Structure 1
């Protein structure tokens, strides 16, 4: 009889606990899209109120795409904010985009779920909803992770995998942007050697896919029997991965084509005692512009990931001086010295790459080879060929 009463009491308490949970909180993970801004996927929080039937999605990835967007993003001054939308509108948007969506229902007790919803509601207040976006450390995924750690505290155990392959921040980016070679090139040109360090399992969670996997491994401890963080999971939108069609117009083909052109010009120029200076002035002028962009991102923005960018070794702002110097009828002594400087800098870039100080985009290798080839050729032949040309003209 006592056992029956005890069992009935346990069942009654379980049911009362079940119905006391007004909120169901879940993590939504959207698979990568086909554009650069969506290629890393997305994370959001779904809150279903069982009592009122309200079904809302809290989204930390909202931004205003206005004419000043790119300027603010380049300067590291872009603010994102927390928005709230009905679940049906959110899922309809990703259905339109063709991106699959997964849901992980969190195994929170009443107090934890209520605390998380309160956290979101406080964050949604006008004075709190905006934050300064940082791709690696403060984005739509890390905001959710940080909230969970605040709510659960020491009760959350991530259970990071042992023996997992070590990856740098750049390696992780490359996994997603490889189908977009121009976007991949732009990222590698803009971001410095600070992202060529190993990312911890927690740091990998800046990517929604990795955070989804981390949630699947995590456990809640200390408030009763240890239980998984995720109670259940399902696919809300079962769509095939977004396919990005390959294009032959990519930096690999283009830059190797430029390199072959300069190799041919150098060979013909050596045989016919010609310099083809116009090509060099254009080439070094473009590198100068790239170098200016690298310097601006390094020293004049609030980005943390654009520091110590050694692309500056081959794309140097002062290369623009050669646009003027190579056009001189009688080359000044400094031109030859600068050509030697450019050659040494390009060689240093190769050494930097080999030693692993910074991983450059593979497509820039042919450009570095052009710098080495042409600076070497012009260093030894600029004055000689121009003197011969003046002699023939005279």
Structure 2
């Protein structure tokens, strides 16, 4: 323990001494880096980081606020709950770019047109934050992420906080997010059914890396462009190919199988899956601190009442099967009406239709 404390104090002392030497020179460049999107869920929306480069003092550091540790105990539960701790780290730019070259993701750099004093202040704030409690933060998908953290720390240094959200004046968060998963049907479906009512609000927060990049290119600061230069540091060569398994067509085949077969066992399986998904959404809504997951109206489609329906199907209780089927159909009707103005209506519509057909058959089934 003593060794850890000694090491920490040495880091603080080194950082303090380094900052006091005023390493920022006229040749220093302060940049915001944007990493393009990729195919995995945690890379779907891109990434933002800060770079400080000074050839005079051989500084070339990345300040990355998107760090997390997969080895964290109960990682999935913490992430879903919304108390997952992310942290910032400073390391050489060469390592940063190389890691994204390996992932085949483009890296764009926007050099900020700010004064030497502002560069110095920003550098000192960043350096201090690396060895203080500010290094850690509780991740929030919209309100607090790698992009919002960069915006906040840059706006703290610049007068009148010039970086503002000038995009998506009429769009909801869901509409802003929707195109990012356009080539990944099941990921797009999963994202839209797990998100609740909050993402249907107007997109007031600037929280996506590519949006920040666009905003910066159109931002003025002290009667001049905030970005003096934009470069592509690494250009990825990404190709997109059609996957039948990851498309609406595979879902249609699965749903058609249940609708055509219409057996007791397949109905039990189908409604069990939907009911369990709805139960999961309900539990997450009570468990999670993520505002995006609260008040999830998609439980009207993935209705926990289906589990009661399954129970009565197994018990061959036709009377209660018919009653619950009519109740679930009513909920499904309300859900469909509510979804008319929602952008994700089309991707859930096959499930709505298939479920309606199966419920209607059960509701109209003749009593033996």
Q: TM-score range by the shorter chain?
A: 0.7 to 0.9
Measure the CA separation in 1 of the matches of 2:165 and 2:353: 46
Measure the CA separation in 2 of the matches of 1:158 and 1:131: 22
The answer to whether residue 200 in structure 2 is matched with residue 196 in structure 1 is yes
Match of 1:366 in 2: 350
Contact 1:36 1:180 (8 Å CA) reproduced = no
Contact 2:321 2:362 (8 Å CA) reproduced = no
Measure the CA separation in 1 of the matches of 2:141 and 2:188: 15
Aligned to 1:227, the other structure's residue is in SS state coil
Aligned to 1:206, the other structure's residue is in SS state coil
- For the aligned residue pairs, the C-alpha RMSD in angstroms reads 2.1
- Tell me the CA shift for residue 380 of structure 1: 1.9
Match of 1:391 in 2: none
Q: Which has the larger radius of gyration?
A: 1
- Tell me the CA shift for residue 127 of structure 1: 2.1
Measure the CA separation in 1 of the matches of 2:236 and 2:347: 33
Aligned to 2:117, the other structure's residue is in SS state helix
* Aligned pairs for 1:11-50 within 5 A: 20-21=25-26, 23-50=28-55
- Tell me the CA shift for residue 68 of structure 1: 2.8
The answer to whether residue 287 in structure 2 is matched with residue 281 in structure 1 is no
Aligned to 1:175, the other structure's residue is in SS state helix
Match of 2:225 in 1: 228
Match of 1:105 in 2: 111
Match of 2:86 in 1: 80
* Aligned pairs for 1:108-127 within 5 A: 108-127=114-133
* Aligned pairs for 1:277-356 within 5 A: 277-329=264-316, 331=317, 333-354=319-340, 356=341
Aligned to 1:128, the other structure's residue is in SS state helix
Distance 1:320 1:166, change over 3 A: same
Counterpart selection for 1:178 from 176, 182, 191: 182
Aligned to 1:235, the other structure's residue is in SS state strand
| Off by >4 Å, runs of 4+ in structure 1 | none
Measure the CA separation in 1 of the matches of 2:214 and 2:38: 19
Measure the CA separation in 1 of the matches of 2:164 and 2:134: 28
Match of 2:7 in 1: none
Measure the CA separation in 2 of the matches of 1:157 and 1:173: 21
Measure the CA separation in 1 of the matches of 2:207 and 2:165: 17
Superposition TM-score, scaled by structure 2 size:
0.87
Question: CA-to-partner distance for each residue in 1:76-107, whole Å, 9 max, x for gaps?
Answer: 12111101110111111111111111111111
- Tell me the CA shift for residue 42 of structure 1: 0.9
Measure the CA separation in 1 of the matches of 2:105 and 2:254: 37
Counterpart selection for 2:236 from 223, 234, 239: 239
Superposition TM-score, scaled by structure 1 size:
0.82
- Tell me the CA shift for residue 297 of structure 1: 2.1
Match of 2:210 in 1: 209
Contact 1:185 1:361 (8 Å CA) reproduced = no
Match of 2:9 in 1: none
Measure the CA separation in 2 of the matches of 1:264 and 1:326: 18
Contact 2:108 2:231 (8 Å CA) reproduced = yes
Distance 1:350 1:361, change over 3 A: closer
In structure 1, runs of 5+ residues without a counterpart are 1-18, 267-275, 388-394
Counterpart selection for 2:250 from 248, 254, 263: 254
- Tell me the CA shift for residue 250 of structure 1: 2.6
Match of 2:152 in 1: 146
Contact 1:155 1:220 (8 Å CA) reproduced = no
The answer to whether residue 358 in structure 2 is matched with residue 377 in structure 1 is no
Measure the CA separation in 2 of the matches of 1:56 and 1:290: 44
Equivalent residues, number = 344
Match of 1:68 in 2: 74
Question: CA-to-partner distance for each residue in 1:325-371, whole Å, 9 max, x for gaps?
Answer: 01124x164332211111111111111111x2x54453321222222
Distance 1:22 1:179, change over 3 A: same
Measure the CA separation in 2 of the matches of 1:58 and 1:185: 34
